[in-house]
């Protein structure tokens, strides 16, 4: 994308690129793993990173509004990076993604995408042994999810399971 296009054109190009990547990248269904789709995901993940880099590169220009498809793509890509176990990459990716979500006010449009980011972040901190941050992320995720999901939802079950695993890890049963 060129810096010599008007804001509307920049936004349109970014939206179209986001949609293209959203349609190409394998979507994560519920709490299922992406293992069977790793080769395909790995082919596209570099392009997802390029989209995030593009977003960051426009820091001084009028901000782009993240299309909701981009936000869904970023949540799925974050989970893939977690599955691959590249947590140093995941930490930077989540930092950028949280900023994109915040600037785009995604919490108002799709709060469950924000909850999913907190879930991924909680798992990352758990894997690092940073249990306090892990619990904080899972509790933030739980607060959001409880507002929008019924009590028997699989996603809520996953949050409770993760909280239980962290509690067991620190030997502090709730």
pLDDT band at 105 (very low <50, low <70, confident <90, very high): confident
Q: Quick one: pLDDT at residue 91?
A: 94
For residues 52 and 64, state if they share a domain.
Answer: yes
Task: Assign 38 a pLDDT band (cuts: 50, 70, 90).
Answer: low
Confidence tier at 90 by pLDDT (50, 70, 90):
very high
Is the same domain home to 17 and 76?
A: yes
* Whether residue 118 sits in one domain with residue 75: no
Indicate if 29 and 87 belong to the same structural domain: yes
Looking at the structure, tell me whether residues 89 and 117 fall in a common domain. Answer: no
Q: Answer yes or no: do 10 and 67 share one domain.
A: yes
CATH (domain of 148): 1.20.58
Q: Which of 106, 129, 161 is the last residue of a domain?
A: 106
Distance, in Å, from the CA atom of 93 to the CA atom of 97, rounded to the nearest integer, reads: 6
Q: Quick one: 11 and 76 in the same domain? A: yes
Q: Is the domain of 27 the same as that of 97?
A: yes
Question: Do 20 and 98 sit in the same domain of this protein?
Answer: yes
Mean pLDDT, all residues of the chain: 83
More confident residue, 91 or 60: 91
Least Cα distance to 48 among 118, 100, 103 occurs for 100
Considering the domain architecture, whether residues 102 and 114 belong to the same structural domain is answered as no
CA dihedral 28, 45, 65, 121 (to 10 degrees): 60
pLDDT of amino acid 69: 86
pLDDT at 1 over 60: no
Report percent pLDDT > 90 for the chain: 34
Domain boundary pick from 106, 139, 156: 106
Residue-wise pLDDT for 149-166, tens only, equals: 999 998 899 999 999 999
Residue at which a domain ends, from 106, 131, 161: 106
Q: Which domain holds residue 37?
A: 1-106
Query: Above 60 in pLDDT, residue 30?
Result: no
Ranges 40-54, 111-125, 135-149: which has the least confidence: 40-54
Q: Which long-range contacts (CB under 8 A, 24 or more apart) does 112-118 make?
A: 112/144, 112/145, 112/148, 112/149, 112/155, 113/68, 113/71, 113/72, 113/75, 114/144, 115/140, 115/141, 115/144, 115/145, 115/148, 115/155, 116/75, 116/78, 116/79, 116/141, 117/74, 117/75, 117/78, 118/144
What's the total number of domains in the chain?
2
Domain check: are 51 and 18 in the same one?
yes
d(CA 41, CA 24): 9
pLDDT of 35 over the 80 cut: no
Judge if 166 and 83 occupy the same domain.
no
């Amino acid at each position: 994308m060129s810096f010599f296009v008007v804001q509307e054109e920049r936004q349109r190009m970014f939206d179209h690129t986001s949609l293209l990547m959203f349609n190409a990248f394998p979507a994560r269904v519920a709490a299922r793993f992406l293992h069977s789709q790793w080769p395909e995901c790995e082919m596209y993940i570099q392009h997802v990173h390029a989209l995030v880099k593009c977003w960051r590169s426009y820091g001084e220009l009028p901000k782009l509004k993240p299309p909701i498809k981009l936000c869904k793509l970023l949540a799925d890509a974050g989970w893939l990076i977690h599955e691959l176990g590249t947590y140093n990459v995941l930490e930077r990716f989540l930092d950028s993604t949280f900023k994109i979500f915040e600037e785009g006010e995604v919490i108002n449009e799709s709060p469950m995408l924000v909850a999913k980011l907190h879930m991924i972040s909680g798992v990352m901190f758990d894997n690092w042994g940073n249990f306090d941050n892990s619990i904080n992320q899972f509790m933030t995720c739980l607060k959001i999810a409880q507002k929008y999901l019924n009590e028997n939802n699989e996603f809520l079950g996953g949050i409770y399971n993760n909280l239980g695993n962290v509690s067991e890890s620190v030997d502090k049963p709730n």
